[in-house]
Amino acid sequence: MNQLLNEREEQIRKLTENSDEAGKIKYGQEILRFNKQIDELLNGMRLSIIKDMNQFRYQKQSVKRYRNRYGYIPKHNGAFIDKRD
């Protein structure tokens, strides 16, 4: 990742130093290619972080349910209330 950022920075420096149109197009295309690769890497990292967060949240809920196994029993304990009209 850092290598791609450094290479992109070098291309941006060359783009600003170069004054002819063909060189600017060449370096501009290289910068776009680096940007695409960096975006793909960042998107993969973002998805990995989201996956880890969801897994942590699920694990936290599982531990809470395990420690308090009987906390989710309905309060009426099976009593049936018949409503008559």
Cut 0.75: pTM above it: no
Q: Do 8 and 34 touch, CB atoms closer than 8 A?
A: yes
Tens digits of pLDDT across the chain (85 residues): 788 778 878 877 777 777 678 878 887 888 888 889 989 999 999 999 999 999 999 999 888 888 877 776 655 555 666 666 5
Tokens 């920075």 — which residue?
A: 9
Using a 10 angstrom Cβ sphere, with 0-12 exposed, 13-18 middle and 19 or more buried, the burial of residue 57 is exposed
